[in-house]
Amino acid sequence: MEVIDKKGVTIQTGFATVTHDKFLNEILPQFEKIMVGVGGGQEPFAYIYFEVEKQDVIDTIRMNQCKVTFSIMFNSKVREDMQDILYIKKLKQQIV
């Protein structure tokens, strides 16, 4: 499910799952701010998000060759002075 503003512009994506190659090569390079979700809470706070270093994310995903479930908040489309944020919800290790 995407969140669309009154002008028809997508400001938040729904969750998508991609391979580690696609995530590392196509999605991650676009973002400076990355948040990782830790689950187990109760609604409306089922997940708590923490900011993580980009290199830590790269190392973890590359080492484990994870499928990555993520969403994007396009804050810059709401206000130009705000950063877009990549939210990682889940990593699923692929056994090769």
Residue 26 lies in a domain: yes
Tell me if 31 is assigned to some domain: yes
Asked if the structure places residue 2 within a domain, the reply is: no
More confident residue, 79 or 4: 79
> What pLDDT is stored for residue 1 in this prediction?
64
Residue 96 has pLDDT above 70, yes or no: no
User: Does 15 map to a domain?
Assistant: no
Whether 10 maps to a domain, the answer reads no
Residues paired with residue 16 on neighbouring β-strands, in sequence order:
70
Q: Which domain holds residue 63?
A: 21-93
Q: What is the pTM of this model?
A: 0.82
Q: Is residue 3 part of a domain?
A: no
Q: What average pLDDT does range 72-79 have in this prediction?
A: 88
Kindly write down the DSSP assignment for every residue of 63-75, as one continuous string: HHTEEEEEEEE-G
d(CA 84, CA 80): 10
For residue range 46-70, list pLDDT tens digits in order.
888 899 999 999 999 999 999 999 9
Number of domains in the chain: 1
